[in-house]
Amino acid sequence: MSKRDLKKYLTELNKEQLEEQIIELYEKFVPVKTFYDFVFNPKEDKLLQESKTKISHEYFPIKKPNAKWRPKAKMRRSVAQKMIKHFIVLGVDPFIVADLMLYNIEIAQTFSLGNFVKQELFYKSMFNSFEQAVNFIISNGILSEFKTRILEIQQQTIQQKWKNKYDFEAILDKIDL
């Protein structure tokens, strides 16, 4: 069904029928429920904190009480990417999305500062995250608010001697920071 057909169908329904359909969608589909729950009670700060916690646990997992071993860091970029995409779909404020994007890179850099990471894919994925974050920040016109954090991330790649540090520098050269 096209968007046009849907509009035509919806105009043929009365208010009661529309309400019934929306309630049915709300009850049947988790994404619809999530959307409406967010629209009527955004709590963006709480959502941001929960997401930051999940991302940090990817790099610094919590040892369970009475466990004899500490879980190994998984370092999955996909966890953060899924949350970022969810924030964008919900229509979360771009400042909060940008904060989460940069936090993802910063926590990975904190991890790599104290742990040698030999997987080349880690560095490549952090670069991809950095490039996406910078593009998102520029496209939303909020570069001046995040300039310091962006520069700090780039400086960390140099201090930690990341193999792709020049790729990070090239991104900043393109935007004249």
Confidence of residue 36 (pLDDT cuts 50, 70, 90): confident
**What's the mean pLDDT when you consider all of the chain?**
91
What phi, psi does 45 have (nearest 5°)? -65, -40
**What's the pLDDT at 177?**
63
More confident residue, 69 or 72: 72
Taking the domains of the chain in order of start, what are their residue ranges?
A: 1-41, 44-175
Of 103 and 18, more confident: 103
Cα separation of 98 and 140, whole Å?
A: 9
CB 41 within 8 A of CB 90: no
Q: What is the pLDDT of residue 71?
A: 81
How far apart, in Å, are the Cα atoms of 5 and each of 8, 104, 119, 128? 5, 41, 50, 39
